[in-house]
Amino acid sequence: MENATKPQKRDKSLIPLSREHHFGLLFCWKLRQGLKNGADLEVMRAYVRYFWKSILQPHCEEEEWVMRRLLPKNNYMRLRLEEEHRLLQALIELVEEGSPMNRDLFKVLEQDLVDHVRWEERELFPYLQAEVQPDELELTGKVLEHRHTVHTDDFTPEFWVKSAKAK
């Protein structure tokens, strides 16, 4: 059981996707901070829209492309990934519509995305590393390198930073 506590080494083929998970977790932190600091929900809504279009949607599309290459159509891990991506998209659309329950929707989106990223890192990626032939994983990683675009999150205003006036 000693291995259970050691972080698993990520296959280099999956590292571009794994790195982007940091952006997803940072996005969630920014939402939490914004809610905590009483940020304008319209600005937060604009950030959700921005993050979806510029980072999260392309990331989800890349992950699904990888799954289509590596796992059969009816594989339960692939199906779960696709379903969770659709649920995240539906939540984002609700936030964008400006539902009266918007504060709660931000919280649900934040928690669901954190849970999804952790599931991918702790279960899906180790599963791929164990189940997929190393040469197939390597080939997919090489193709991903050519397809992959490094994204940056440069949204302004920085609603997650507590303003000096609020002190």
Count of C-beta atoms within a 10 Å radius of residue 154: 7
Asked if residue 4 lies in contact with residue 132, where contact means CB atoms within 8 angstroms, the answer is no
CA torsion 89→92→98→101, rounded to 10°? 100
Average pLDDT of the segment spanning 126-154? 87
pLDDT at 135: 92
138 has a pLDDT exceeding 50: yes
Of residues 101 and 3, more confidence is placed in 101
Taking all residues of the chain, what is their mean pLDDT, rounded to a whole number?
Answer: 89
Could you tell me the two tokens for 92?
Answer: 């984002």
- pLDDT per residue over 2-52, tens digit each? 445 455 678 888 888 888 898 999 999 999 999 999 999 999 999 999 999
Domain range annotation of the chain? 13-150
- CATH code for the part of the protein at 13-150: 1.20.120.520
pLDDT, residue 101, reads 67
pTM score of the predicted model: 0.88
Please, which residues have CB within 8 angstroms of residue 111's CB and are 6 or more apart in sequence? 28
